[in-house]
Chains A and B, each alone.
Chain A
Amino acid sequence: MKQRIAGFLFDWLVGAYLAVMLHRIVWHELLLGIEGPTSSGASSAAFIAGIPDWLVYGAVGLALASAASISKVSLALLVQGKLERRMWQRTAALHVASLVLSLTFITGWVVTKISLVDMFSGERLRAAGRIFSSLLQPEFAILPQALSAIVETVYLAFMATVLALPASFVLAFLSARNLMRGNVWTRATYTILRALTNFTRSIEPLVWAVIFTVWVKVGPFPGMLALMVHTISSLAKQYSEQIEDIDPGPMEAIASTGARPLQIVWFGVVPQVFIPFLSFTIYRWDINVRMATVIGLVGGGGIGTMLNQYQMLAQWREEGLIVLVIALVVWAMDYISARIREALA
């Protein structure tokens, strides 16, 4: 029953989505040639007078979903694997699926305003050529500044990683399902912490950086804070997945000696996860160096900020040198961290 309701809702959503694409994109933009943003105001009049668009889309979706549930030509049934190979409904549903996919592609093309004319007109090509040739002649006069900026970035990433470590370590054990099965309280802690780390992790470090540049003064410090917050939740997740993967045997053996809970974790779990933790941590530092560069663009300090400054001044030769320095350092970090992780494995 639950599955059938979910399936009907799924078909409804897909139906409404089809209606939106057919009306907004195919009818308005392609057939009538009205530009995107202006169409929303005019569309009610063009469609059915007095009824808001979303209601019409919903109604069309509902009609399509009902038709799907009667005829069994349903994408939901297809996804749930309930349409067998020789049923005609399966073939029909596959056709509907390919229609949805092609319309999505057309919509995507319109929405992203892909324009080959813009890309390959003579004037545009000349502008791009100017920038590329400047980028390829890096201005070495600013090398000392660029080096000190990238060192700042590497340290920023290092501090973000190191300061995140203790919190990630503790959080990892508290959000590992196999360790938190004990009672209602531990299970509640597990659920809450999982939700919390998933939430903070889903916010990009770039957004954290914007928040922290408002909170503390612009510079490397807010950049470090942004990376640290993201690192805590990312490492906590990777660590806890590693903990959930351990061999439970040693834990059972330690428990059977009459050890206390903390001793069971320290002796039965930590030795098994220590090396993988180290490997994740080094990899995270490597990722953080790359992220720190991007965070610098919004005022998080380091080489990113420098890159942003020269871009504003349109000094493309200086920009070229900065890009070169970033590429070299990121490549070197990547290489070193890969070698260390190899040695650990």
Chain B
Amino acid sequence: MLLDIRSLSKTYPNGTQALKSVSFTVERGEFVAVIGLSGSGKSTLLRCINRLIEPTSGTILFEGHDVTHIKGEALRRYRQRIGMIFQQFNLIGQASVLKNVLMGALGSVSTIDSILGRFPQSLHEMAMRNLQIVGIADKASVRADSLSGGQQQRVAIARALMQEPQLLLADEPVASLDPATSHSVMRYLGYINRQLGTTIICNLHFLSLVREYATRAIALRNGEIVFDGSPSEITEEWFRHIYGEDAVEVEIR
């Protein structure tokens, strides 16, 4: 078991209960899609896992270790093992693609060396390999903000791969992309999941993408898990339960 979440809750200072006693486990090699309406707690859940957001209560076990309250160096070592990509890509637009990818390895380079730009040759080679995996090695020296959205998300994936992560968190990775580009990015995530064996937890909006790429789906509604099972089990009835009575499924091809 890679990840064990037990009764995780998060209440924001303004009183919003984003997560209400959420529990689930994730095995190595799974591709878990987290679905649900906007505001159902998907982003909060992902950010609680790598502790970008502090959970209010509950426990997070990663490879059997309790990481709910670790701090400082221990927290940084923990985060190094978990990659993350974002809806808005969150690259440093002013820096080159290669430099952006190298930033994924900041945890393993000393502060001084990284500020002086002294990344070891081995990391440079690794960065180029990761850029090859996502198919944009030829863009290594251009400014990150000159790339298209899909290309930027692939750079973000390469940056996350620099951590050689056991787990990859993807927060709406294709929500800002057009359908064709969405599939391309999802295919790279699928490749990483199957070929590199990286476990993936991915927030998604489109059920068609969930059915195509995920091995398992977890549905959140108002901060609670209302479905946990195979994507193929999500019937129309379940769909209305997750998204509300008025919802109509839209497909992305």
Interface on A for B, CB 8 Å cutoff?
Answer: 247, 249-250, 252-260, 262-263, 266-268, 271-272, 274-275
Contact = CB atoms under 8 A, between A and B. Distances in A.
A27 B114 CA distance: 73
Contacts of B95: 267, 271
A213 B82 CA distance: 59
B103 A254 contact: yes
Given A249-B86, A257-B105, A260-B107, 13 more contacts: A252-B86, A254-B103, A257-B79, A257-B103, A257-B162, A258-B78, A258-B79, A258-B106, A258-B107, A259-B103, A267-B114, A268-B92, A274-B94
A253 B94 CA distance: 15
Contacts of B88: 247, 249
B77 interface: yes
Nearest to A264: B106
B151 to A, nearest CB: 16
A250 B90 contact: yes
B103 A256 contact: no
B94 A256 contact: no
B194 interface: no
7 contacts: A249-B86, A252-B52, A254-B103, A256-B82, A258-B81, A260-B76, A263-B106
A260 B111 contact: yes
A263 B92 CA distance: 13
Contacts of B90: 249-250, 252-253
B114 A257 contact: no
Contacts of A271: 92-95
Interface string B80-113: 1111101011111111000000011111000100
A150 B67 CA distance: 64
Q: 8 tightest A-B contacts by CB?
A: A258-B80, A258-B107, A258-B79, A253-B90, A259-B106, A249-B90, A256-B84, A271-B94
Interface in B120-167: 156, 159-160, 162-163
B46 to A, nearest CB: 10
Contact of B50 (A249, A256, A262, A272): A256
A148 B115 CA distance: 42
B91 A250 contact: yes
Given A249-B90, A271-B92, A258 B52 contact: no
Nearest to A262: B111
Contacts of A275: 94
B245 to A, nearest CB: 35
A257 B86 CA distance: 13
B70 to A, nearest CB: 12
Contacts of A254: 103, 106
A259 B86 contact: no
Contacts of A268: 92
A253 B160 CA distance: 9
A119 B42 CA distance: 74
A250 B81 CA distance: 19
Nearest to A253: B90
Interface string B42-63: 0000000010100000000000
A262 to B, nearest CB: 5
Interface string B151-191: 00000100110110000010000000000000000000000
Nearest to A272: B94
Contacts of A274: 94
B98 to A, nearest CB: 14
Contacts of B80: 257-258
A235 to B, nearest CB: 21
Given A253-B156, A263-B114, A258 B76 contact: yes
A246 to B, nearest CB: 11
Contacts of A252: 52, 86, 90
B115 A263 contact: yes
A341 B92 CA distance: 22
Given A256-B50, A271-B92, A271-B95, A266 B86 contact: no
Contacts of B92: 250, 267-268, 271-272
Contacts of B82: 256
Contacts of A257: 79-80, 83-84, 103-107, 159-160, 162-163
Nearest to A267: B103
B114 A256 contact: no
B103 A255 contact: no
B52 A266 contact: no
B79 A255 contact: yes
Contacts of B79: 255-258
A250 B100 CA distance: 10
A256 B103 CA distance: 11
Nearest to B75: A258
